[in-house]
Every structure is written in structure tokens, then in C-alpha cells.
Amino acid sequence: MKAGWRLFAGLSIFYAIVAVIYWLVGGEAVGITAVTLSSALAALIAFYFWFSTKRSGGILPEDNMAGEIADSAGELGFYSPHSWWPLPVALSACAAGLGLLIGWWLTLIAIGALLISIIGFVLEYEKPSALPTH
Amino acid sequence: MTTVAATPAKVTRPNIVAVGTIVWLSSELMFFAALFAMYFTTRAVQGPKVWLESTGMLNVKFAAINTTVLVLSSVTCQFGVFAAERFQARRSGPLWKFSKWGLREWFALTFLMGAFFIGGQVYEYANLVHEGLSLSSRAYGSVFYITTGFHGLHVTGGLIAFLMVMLRVFKAQKFGHSQATTAIVVSYYWHFVDIVWIALFSAIYLIK
């Protein structure tokens, strides 16, 4: 990930220089803002890469030239095996958007439905049970 | 498996939820970039003279207090993350001893500060509308309400996210890595929204 943060830090510096040049040659406001914030975008990712490289405390298996597939084996995170909750979340978000065209009453109902479905989504695997949950 | 000896010792892989959050926040940054571009273009087209007529209506002192509260809420949010990294969900001492606070107390405080910010913004909007600056009254009104309004919606979304974290921690059987991850990514989002506000505040209230 060393290459990762250097790459994005370089991009960030590049955009910053381009933004200054563009300003000096009399560029318009949209371009200056967009290029400056592109620099911030690259800086954000560079900072995150740098931060996680520092935290990982070593070379990741995919960056190791002599690495094997088996080296990166292990727990990656928790993945839901099956869930219906994304469907009500998507439907109520859709209804909320549609409500802007049809009428505010639908948006208000849909925001309520959205909150309920997000709560369901977030808490799905927090049910108390005798079995180990994860 | 002959290469096992050659590989370095235990490496902590970046959390996938956190990586996804950073990618999403990068796209959010470009969303706000579009809003900033809109603001500066309208300003450039209308000229500083027209702009000054409207910016004079802003209450910079009030907005500065509001901004301070939001910035401090980022600090309290980070203390909540430190508690989450210790896997401490609730306080281990009396309420006034904030050095013993857990995730729940810090996030509740952050929530109150964020709610204060939104309340302040609603009050500010009400005053401005009363003075005749509305979304459709003139170009300045449109860009002012669209930029600060979208930011306000993001803060409101963050407040809901804090409630979700607290609800999840409350329902969880034990405070583990997945609960801590939720708290950490919500803090990433909160810091992001906070930084965007600092930029918006400097553009709208300070530079004018």
C-alpha cells in the first residue's frame, strides 16, 4: 500500500499545482473549485492509505512479491448470508424520490418507512439468541 | 506452504467496511464540489456588488457559534471512538466523570451538539426568510439554501446514524468488533461532514 498512498499523494499535489496555474491564467470559478477539490479527493484517499499502511504493521500479502494465495486467507469481515431488508430500504427510498414528483405526502410517508427499514437492516443480526450470531 | 516462514508477522488488513466508507465519502466530496462550483459560478456571474446586498443579511456571529459547536462535536465523537476501540459501551463511573465515559455517553453528547447545530440552522433560516431571503427570491437565496441545506440534510442523516449506533449497541449481546466498526465508520462520516461545513462556512460567511 506504500505505492498506493504515494500515487494518490502525487495526484493531489498535481491537482493543486494545476489549480494554481488555472487560476493564474484566468480560469473560471467552476474549474478552479473542481480542480482544487479533486486535489482534496486524492488527498483524502492518500491519507487513508497512509494511515492504514501505518496501522497494518507490515506488508500485505498482495504486495509481497513472494506471496501465495493462501497467505491472505483468514477472516475478511461479516457478510450477511441472506437478507430481505435491502428491498424495503430501496423501495422506500424510491418512494421518497417519487414523492417529490407526485406530492409531499408520499415523501413524508416514505421517510417514515425508510427509517423503519433502516432500523430493521441495521439490527437484523443483533437479535438476542442462544446461538452464536456471527 | 513453504513461503509461510518468509512472510512477515501478523498483518492487520484494513477493515472492509471502513474502506467502503472512504470510497463513498470520496464520492460525497465530489457531490459537495458540485455545490461549491455552483456557489462560486453564481457569485462570479452576478458580481460582488449584487452579492454584498445579500451577504449583509447573514448573522456571522450566530453562525460562528453554531460552527464551534459542530467542530467540538467532532472532538466528542472521536472520544466515543476511543471508547469503542476499548470496547467500552457504557460509562464505568458516575455521569460527571467524563474520563470514565463509554461510547454511549460520548455519542449521546455528540448527538445533542449536532441537534443544537441543526436547531440553530433552522432558526437562522427562519430569520432570513422573515427578512425576505427565500429559495426562490433571488439567485443568492437559491445557492445559499441549496449548499447549506444539503449540508444540513447530511448532518441530520448523521444524527440518525448516531441513533442507529446507539440502538445497535443497546441491542447487541456484547460489544465486539462489528459494533466498534459501525461506530468508527459513523465517526468518519461525521468528521467528513464537519470538514465540509468548515469549508462552506469560510466560503459563505467569511469570504462572502
pLDDT tens digits for chain A (134 residues)?
A: 678 889 999 999 999 999 999 989 987 777 888 888 889 889 988 988 888 888 777 777 777 788 788 877 777 777 888 899 999 999 999 999 999 999 999 999 999 999 999 999 988 887 665 455 45
* Mean local confidence (pLDDT), B70-89: 90
Is 0.95 topped by the overall pTM? no
**ipTM of this complex prediction, to 2 decimal places:** 0.74
Q: What are the structural domain ranges in chain A?
A: 4-59, 86-122
Whole-number pLDDT of residue A17: 94
Choose among A66, A70, A76: nearest Cβ to B6.
Answer: A66
* Mean local confidence (pLDDT), B67-92: 90
CA dist A72 and B11 (Å) reads 10
- Residues above pLDDT 90, as percent of chain B: 46
Work out how many CB contacts closer than 8 A connect A with B.
103
Closest CA to A23 of B44, B144, B202: B44
**Contacts of residue B64, Cβ cutoff 8 Å, sequence gap at least 6:** B201, B205
Domains annotated for chain B, with CATH where assigned, are 30-206 (1.20.120.80)
Contacts of A77 in chain B (CB under 8 A): 15-17
Average pLDDT, chain B: 87
CA dist A61 and B4 (Å) reads 11
**Contacts of residue B80, Cβ cutoff 8 Å, sequence gap at least 6:** B103, B106, B107, B110, B183, B187
Residue A85, judged by CB atoms within 10 A of its CB (0-12, 13-18, 19+), counts as middle
Nearest chain A residue (CA) to B34:
A34
